[in-house]
Amino acid sequence: MWKKVAGVLALAMVLSVSAKADLEMEMEPDEEVDESVFDDSYIPTSAEGLDVPAPSAILMEKETGTVLWEKNADERLRPASVTKVMTILLIVEAVDSGALGLDDVITCSANAAGMGGSQVFLEEGEQMPLREMLKCIVVSSANDAAVAVAEHMAGSEAAFAARMNERARELGMANTHFTNCTGLMDDPEHLTTARDIAIMSRELIKHDWIKEYTTIWMDTIRDGQFGLSNTNKLVRFFDGATGLKTGYTSAAGHCLAATAMRDGVEYIAVVLHCASSAERFESAKTLLGYAFGAYTLVEPKPAEVLPVIPVKLGKVDYVQPVLGEGSKLLIRKTDAGNVTTEVELADSLTAPVEPGSQVGTMTVKLGEEVLAQVPILTPDGARRITWWDVVKDMMGILF
């Protein structure tokens, strides 16, 4: 009998050590990466010349959502801690909506404290303001902090994961399914794609204030007693880097959602399943450097100021038209000087004119190619004059 008990105890110890070893494998390795990896001086300006070792990758521009380059971008893969882009997005949206405050106190549960992998070693019952927890998640990819905030927001990590999937559907992330908020465990059902990661990354960086966190290279928590170091080395070594999130597990490989801005244009490069940390940075750097070298964001304007449009039977005599949204275009730098515009505008309008009514179109062309058709709108509209208005006007003239 005692031999059986001893055998069970020995097996339990082996399983415990094995589980611990697995968790240690999921920690983001702080590999040394030569600074030459981040040099973008010799990146080609044509897509044909791109050489990106990442097995799955995509390059997207933030403002327009234009995809400039992709490679196996719809292959469903494990994202590791890049999962936390969605976790951070839900936190940021909750803060912006007023549902959460950055000074709200988050209490770590036993479950959160027991998370392995990358962590800040929260203890059960330990409390931190959300701003500190968010910093731990963004900079150090802290699984314990991510779970603590998820539980605070949704009651449980499973309920939070359901919110993640709901938000993914809203954003059109058609090939994504989350089972947790960290990406720590290599769950075979926890899958996404480079394209879907780019979509949620784009949504996150629309909240500009998150870059106060995503651009941190080194910082501390617990009154300076615990150091944080960003595993995204682009933040330190790549000009204009604005974030965003690294990830690694033994099954997912080295992953990265990288963002960078120069001259007011921001790009998103996602690379998945890379063989090494250097390979993911090399791949992301090459894509971002290519975008900055080859493309520019332009906002075409009419050759002349849009004239006012007369309004018949209106309470106002005319309305001032303006360009609608969608006028910004991403084009090759070599084509920037050859973009032309043509305006078609109504000669006159008859009231009532609803606010936001389209009264014309600006066609943007590159040679004979139509790049875009931008609506021309009347933001204020014009109400129709009534008989009582006519009577009042006549009374004013007479008396």
Please enumerate in sequence order all residues whose Cβ is within 8 A of that of 355, keeping only pairs 6 or more positions apart, or say none: 378, 379, 380, 381
Distances (CA, A) of 207 to 92, 109, 202, 287: 8, 29, 9, 23
Does the annotation count 135 as an active-site position? no
Q: How confident is the model at residue 49 (pLDDT cuts 50, 70, 90)?
A: confident
Predicted model pTM: 0.85
Cα→Cα distances 30→107, 187, 235, 349, Å? 28, 23, 14, 65
Helix (H, G, I), strand (E, B) or coil at 379: coil
Q: 198-251: per-residue pLDDT in tens?
A: 999 999 999 999 999 999 999 999 999 999 999 999 999 999 999 999 999 999
Which one of the listed residues 56, 62, 71, 81 is annotated catalytic?
A: 81
The percent of the chain in helix, strand and coil, each rounded to the nearest 5, is: 35, 25, 35
* pLDDT digits 0-9 by tens, 71-98: 999 999 999 999 999 999 999 999 999 9
Residue type, 268: I
At 36 the pLDDT is 67
Task: Give the span between the Cα atoms of 248 and 30, in whole angstroms.
Answer: 11
Chain segment 355-379, per-residue pLDDT in tens = 999 999 999 999 999 999 999 999 9
Q: Tell me the pLDDT band of 388, cut-offs 50, 70 and 90.
A: low
Least confident of 32-36, 101-105, 333-337: 32-36
Residue 305's φ and ψ, nearest 5 degrees, are -60, 135
Q: Which of 67-76, 287-296, 384-393 has the lowest mean pLDDT?
A: 384-393
Q: Is residue 276 within a helix (H) or strand (E), and if so which, with residue range? A: none
User: What counts of helices (H) and strands (E) characterise the chain?
Assistant: 11, 18
The mean pLDDT of 256-283, rounded to a whole number, is 96
pLDDT digits (tens, 9 = 90+) for 137-190: 999 999 999 999 999 999 999 999 999 999 999 999 999 999 999 999 878 999
pLDDT attached to residue 31: 65
pLDDT at 393 over 50: yes
Model confidence at 6, pLDDT cuts 50, 70, 90, reads very low
First to last CA, the chain: 115
Nearest-CA neighbor of 61 among 213, 192, 174, 206? 206
According to DSSP, the residues that pair with 378 across neighbouring strands are 357
Residue 338 neighbours by CB distance under 10 Å: 11
SS3 75: coil
Q: Which of 56, 62, 71, 84 is catalytic?
A: 84
Distance CA 387, CA 121 (A): 75
Percent of the chain with pLDDT over 70: 88
Please report which confidence band the pLDDT of residue 43 belongs to, taking 50, 70 and 90 as the band edges: confident
Report CA 363 to chain centroid distance, whole Å: 30
Q: Give Dmax over CA atoms of the chain in angstroms.
A: 116
Specify the pLDDT at position 20: 38
Active site residue 233: no
Q: Is 315 a catalytic residue?
A: no
The strand pairing partners of 175, in sequence order, are: none
Cα–Cα distance for residue pair 195/193, rounded to 1 Å: 5
Residue 389 has pLDDT above 50, yes or no: yes
d(CA 225, CA 326): 48
Cα separation, 84 vs 197, whole angstroms: 10
Angle subtended at Cα 151 by Cα 204 and Cα 259, rounded to the nearest 5 degrees = 20
Catalytic residue from among 141, 201, 277, 357: 141
Write down the pLDDT at residue 50. Answer: 87
Which structural domains are found in the chain, ordered by start? Answer: 22-294 (3.40.710.10), 309-388 (2.60.410.10)
CB 362 within 8 A of CB 393: no
Quote the CA–CA distance of 3 and 204 in Å, as a whole number.
57
